[in-house]
Chains A and B, each alone.
Chain A
C-alpha cells in the first residue's frame, strides 16, 4: 500500500502543472471532504478539479486523531437533557450509522488499506448525572438504529478492567473505531485521479466572480497560480470556508478552533476500544504500534494561515489528567509528542452541505467532526449534484442559513 502511495506521489508533479482553462466542478480544499467529493463525482462521471492552497491533507484532515465518533458526544448536546435536541440528534445519529457503513465499505471499494479498524468505542461517565445522560442518549441512538449498550458495575469491570474502579458506567458502541488520517486522504485522492479528477496544489484562491450569463452560471476564479473557470463551485475549505465564501459576499456560520493531540511511548497492547467521556474532553486509544493517542478537543491557538499551530501546555496537562483519571494505569507511560491542528466548528452544530439558493451553482460541503463524517457528507453532496438519488440532505444543513433573512 505504501508503494502504491509513493507511486501516486510521483503524480504530485502533476499537482504543480498549469491550471486547466475550465472545468465542470471546481472544488476548493484538498482535505478529506474535497478529496472524497472528487472521488464520488468521478464515480458518477463528473469531472472535477481540486484546488489546494498548500499541500494535500496538511490541515484538519491530516492532523486529527483519526477517531470515528458515532455515539452522541458532549459537543453535540446543547442542553443537559438530550430530549431538547431530539430531532437534530436523531437525524445526526442516522447519518452516523451511514458513515459507519461507508467507512466499512470504503476500503473494499477503493481496494486500499486506509487503516480502518472497527474496535468499538466506550464512552465513560464519572458522575451519577453523567450516567443518567448515557441512558437517555442511548434511547435516541436505539431509535436512530445505532447499536449501543450501557454497562456498569461488574459487567463493566469484566469488559474493561483497565478503567478506574470508580467509573460509574460506560456506553459501548461496537461500530466505533478509527482510520489512519495520514493514509486516508492521499489514497482517496489517488483513486479520484484514476477516475479523471485533476488536482492542483499551492494554488490559493484570491477572488471569485460569479457570472449569470445566458448560457448559465460561470465562476471565474483567480488563484495565486492563474485563473480557472467552472460551471459549479464547491467550497470544501473546512476551517477557512468562510474566507472563501466571503469572496462571494456569502457568510457561513462557522469558525475555526485550534485543537490539540498527544501521543505516548509504545506499551504492550491492553486497550482495544476507543475511550471517550460524556462529560469531559477525552478520546483515548491504543494504536497497533502500542502507542496511546490522547485527544478530545483541548484547545490550541488557532492560526489564520496554514502553518503549524502552537500548543498550550495547560491543554497537554489537562488532556493527560483526564486520560489518567479514566485509565490510571497510564501513570508511568510517558508522552513523547504533542501536536495541534485546526477544526471547523459550526455555530449551530450542524454541517453545511448543499447548493446555495441565493447563489445557484455555489455549493458548500463542511462536516462537523469532519474526519468521521467528511466522506459521508461528500457522498451526499455528490448524489445531489448529479441528482441520481432523492435529495437526502437535511434542511438544517442549508448553505444559506448564516445569511440575514433579507438576502436569502
Chain B
C-alpha cells in the first residue's frame, strides 16, 4: 500500500526549526517496525512517527490508511502497537528510550497466555 512504509520525499529528520533560546530534550532511539529511528524527550509517538516519515500509522479493517487526525486523543485514528500494547493512541503516548512501535494492520490479535486460568 502506498505510504505504508516511509513516505517518499520526506526528509527523515524533518523537525521544526527551534526558536532562539529553546532546545530539544535528550536524544534517544526507538524502533518503528524494524527500523531504528531517533526521537527526543518530550515528543509524542505521533511526532516521532511523522518526523521520521511515517504519516500513516495504521490501516482499518478494510485496509484504508489512517494517521493523526484530531491530534488530541479523541478520534482514535492514530492507533499503533506500543511495547506490545495494541490500540495505543500515538498522539497521547510519550516516546521513551528503546520503545518498540509497530504500525497496526486491521484488527489486532488477542494475546493468548500459556496458562489461561484466572485468579479472581
Contacts and interface: CB of A to CB of B under 8 A. Distances in A.
A164 B116 contact: yes
A83 interface: no
Nearest to B79: A265
Given A265-B87, A332-B85, A165 B107 contact: no
Interface string A334-371: 10000000000000000000000000000000000000
A266 B113 contact: no
Contacts of B107: 266-269, 290
Interface in B73-120: 85-87, 106-113, 116-118, 120
A165 B114 CA distance: 11
A270 to B, nearest CB: 6
A329 B117 contact: no
Given A165-B116, A165-B117, A334-B87, A290 B110 contact: no
B2 interface: no
Contacts of A331: 111, 113, 118
Interface of B: 61, 85-87, 106-113, 116-118, 120
B117 A164 contact: yes
Contacts, number: 47
Q: Which 6 A-B pairs have the closest CB atoms?
A: A328-B118, A268-B107, A328-B116, A290-B107, A329-B110, A265-B87
Interface of A: 164-166, 265-270, 290, 321, 324-325, 328-334
A381 B61 CA distance: 44
A324 B112 CA distance: 13
A interface secondary structure, majority? loop
B63 to A, nearest CB: 15
Nearest to B88: A334
10 contacts: A267-B107, A268-B109, A268-B110, A324-B120, A328-B117, A329-B111, A330-B110, A332-B85, A332-B111, A334-B87
Given A290-B61, A332-B85, A334-B87, A268 B117 contact: no
Nearest to B106: A268
Contacts of B110: 267-268, 270, 329-330, 332-333
Contacts of B106: 268
Contacts of B108: 267-268
Given A267-B108, A330-B110, A334-B87, 9 more contacts: A164-B116, A265-B87, A267-B86, A267-B109, A269-B107, A324-B118, A325-B118, A329-B110, A332-B86
Contacts of B120: 321, 324-325
A166 B117 contact: yes
A331 B112 CA distance: 9
A169 B64 CA distance: 41
A237 B108 CA distance: 42
B61 to A, nearest CB: 7
Contacts of A329: 110-113, 116
Nearest to B118: A328
Contacts of B118: 164, 324-325, 328, 331
A328 B109 contact: no
A321 to B, nearest CB: 6
A388 B4 CA distance: 64
A313 B99 CA distance: 33
A393 to B, nearest CB: 43
A60 to B, nearest CB: 29
A267 B112 CA distance: 13
